[in-house]
Amino acid sequence: MTAKREKFRMMPRPVFVRKRWASLVFTRDGLDRRFYELCVLSELKNALRSGDIWVQDSRQFKDFEAYLLPPARFTELRGEHHLGLAVAIDCESYLESRLAELEHEMATVEHLAAADTLPDAGFTPAGRLKITPLHNTVPEGAEALMEQAYSRLPHLKITELLLEVDDWTGFTQHFTHLKNGAAAGDRQLLLTTILADAINLGLTKMAESCPDASYAKLAWLQAWHIRDETYAAALAELTNAQYHQPFAAYWGDGTTSSSDGQNFKAGGQGQFAGHVNLKYGQEPGIQFYTHISDQYAPFHTQVINATVRDATHVLDGLLYHESDLRIAEHYTDTAGFTDHVFALMQLLGYRFAPRIRDLADRRLYIPGDASPYPTLSGMIGGRINIRHIRSHWDEILRLAASIKQGTVTASLMLRKLGSYPRQNGLAIALRELGRIERTLFTLDWLQNVDLRRRVQVGLNKGEAKNALARAVFLNRLGEVRDRSYENQRYRASGLNLVVNAIILWNTVYMERAIQSLTDSGQPVDEDLLPHLSPLGWEHINLTGDYVWQQDKRVARGRFRPLRTPREA
């Protein structure tokens, strides 16, 4: 036994066995095979996720370089100034501009902080930043006007609402046949299939709840007409219709948006046991990560693991939606930002404005000495590695251009760059670039109360939309029990589509309700209209038998009569 132990001590230890595994793998009696195998599989998984190891001809685990634009193609596009990026492609020009702005903003905020004149913000005697919470700015009368408007909206079933919205927009025409591209022959059956996804009922139960619908018919329609791309095109149709509604302009001009994940419990403990996010409790779940415009229209959704950080998917919704929206400024909560996201947002032309929790704990980064900023010294966490940015500038541009050109998705690259244990030069350089942008944003946040309020309002719209989504997604106790990722995506897409249809219908009829108030001699303060919301659903019957009654359809170009105060 002594000779065996001596021989074991003389054997070279595998370099991939890290410190956290060493005490388990290497024991006094030699190598523990069970822990050794677990260590190998764990480290292999991490290496595959980060790109340190790749699989030939694999789509998900191929060489990191293979995800990017070929070097020759990148050089060609750069020479023709066709990279499609929103920044100067010359490194020195970019750094000179951003660092000059950083120096100016640091000096400005230092002066304001020293004089204790930061708007609704300041530093305690201990040197800790304190920001005054925003006050409610909803004017008196807005809630009463909302109640008046909704009291006049007609009562109707969700089936009637979908038929009417489809008459306006023709969104069902986008659900084309997979093989021949033809539209669905039976619109009611198609809407029944979509509604089965949206209300989380499933095809079997929906066939029992809808006359003239059988499981076989619904399954055939789902197989041939329901796909990610058809859902995306239909959603874009509804988003565009909302975008062009005159009344929606009171809520925004379609240039700002927010995104947030909504957690849904996942049925089947065995399959989803690893998908537990303690933020939402002890039960496993998944998230529907949704982007919503300032006009309340949800324009992109993804199904993501409950344990995945939201920031990984922020850019996907901005880059890959199919609507006419031209988003310039985007809001998230704390989970939606990383330094990598800050960098890519700037490179791709978006103003990124997350609401960062515990902002005092987030450090500012500067290129030089911290001595000129004594008041801000407690927030300064270090220097920006400018040399590293310069040495990897071409790689940064190539990465951003690859995402812009569609060679690779933003979420895949962010996941690769943020995965353990990769800390390669590109990841570090992108982080340093993001620190510049995050510092500039933080300095603007300290000075700009309007920015804080815009972010708050934008995020509130997304959170209010979640309440409507929860009301629609009512069956099976609101749990996602589908085993396949494909069916989970269909659930999320159907829910988003129906929620968008409700928002559009409400917008159209709220405009008519407000006009009826004016026509009846009741003065309406136009300043209150931006504080209304098209997210109500009390007038919509979401449950019961799902009957498509042709006799209750509204003729093209006509509208349902509004309710009178006596009927309300």
* Distance in Å from the first CA to the final CA of the chain: 89
Give dist(CA 277, CA 309) in Å, integer.
10
pLDDT at position 418, please? 78
- Tokens 């905020």, residue located: 109
CB hemisphere CA count around 1 (13 angstroms): 2
Which of the residue ranges 94-98, 201-205, 400-404, 418-422 would you say has the lowest mean pLDDT?
418-422
Are the beta carbons of 254 and 326 closer than 8 angstroms? yes
Alpha helices (runs of H) in 210-334, residue ranges in sequence order = 215-225, 228-243, 269-272, 314-320
Q: Read off φ and ψ for residue 331, nearest 5 degrees.
A: -120, 145
Distance (Å) of CA 111 to CA 126, 132, 257: 18, 19, 33
| Per-residue pLDDT band at 128 (split at 50, 70, 90) | confident
Could you report the per-residue pLDDT of 519-535, keeping only the tens digit for each? 998 889 999 999 999 99
- b/e code 386-409 from CB counts within 10 Å (16+ = b): bebbeebbebbbbbbbbbbbebbb
DSSP 3-state helix, strand, coil percentages of the chain (rounded to 5)? 55, 10, 35
- CA dihedral of 457, 458, 463, 469, whole degrees rounded to 10: 130
What the block records as the tokens of 550 is 């042709």
Q: How many C-beta atoms lie closer than 10 Å to residue 253's C-beta?
A: 14
pLDDT at position 153, please? 96
Give dist(CA 295, CA 535) in Å, integer.
11
Query: Roughly what angle, to the nearest 10 degrees, separates helices 187-198 and 485-519?
Result: 100
Give dist(CA 154, CA 165) in Å, integer.
14
Give dist(CA 336, CA 454) in Å, integer.
16
- Tokens 């920006």, residue located: 384
Which of the residue ranges 50-59, 346-355, 379-388, 504-513 would you say has the lowest mean pLDDT?
50-59
Res. 5: pLDDT tops 80: no
pLDDT at position 10, please? 47
Give dist(CA 447, CA 91) in Å, integer.
28
Burial class (CB in 10 A: 0-12, 13-18, 19+), 158: buried
Could you report the per-residue pLDDT of 406-437, keeping only the tens digit for each? 999 999 899 888 765 555 788 899 999 999 99
Alpha helices (runs of H) in 152-211, residue ranges in sequence order = 158-169, 187-198, 203-209
Per the prediction, the chain carries an average pLDDT of 89
- Most confident stretch, 176-185, 199-208, 235-244, 523-532: 235-244
Res. 282: pLDDT tops 80: no
How is residue 366 annotated by DSSP?
E
Are the beta carbons of 437 and 345 closer than 8 angstroms? yes
Are the beta carbons of 308 and 336 closer than 8 angstroms? no
Res. 372: pLDDT tops 70: yes
CA angle 357, 458, 333 (to 5 degrees): 25
When pLDDT is averaged across residues 248-252 and rounded to a whole number, the result is 97
pLDDT at position 270, please? 42
DSSP 533-553: -S---TTEE-SS-----GGGP
What the block records as the tokens of 380 is 């300064």
3-state secondary structure of 245: coil
When pLDDT is averaged across residues 52-59 and rounded to a whole number, the result is 79
Distance (Å) of CA 200 to CA 29, 162, 254, 541: 55, 16, 30, 16
DSSP 470-503: HHHS-GGGG-B---SHHHHHHHHHHHHHHHHHHH
3-state secondary structure of 235: helix
pLDDT at position 279, please? 56
Give dist(CA 120, CA 132) in Å, integer.
5
Which amino acid is located at 168 in the chain? W
Give the residue among 200, 42, 266, 476 at the shortest CA–CA distance from 274: 266
E-strand stretches of 67-214? 121-123, 129-131, 156-157
What the block records as the tokens of 150 is 């909704």
What contacts 92, CB < 8 A, 6 or more positions away?
none
Give dist(CA 184, CA 35) in Å, integer.
55
What contacts 224, CB < 8 A, 6 or more positions away?
177, 178, 179
CB hemisphere CA count around 60 (13 angstroms): 5
Give dist(CA 45, CA 420) in Å, integer.
10
| Per-residue pLDDT band at 278 (split at 50, 70, 90) | very low
pLDDT at position 505, please? 98
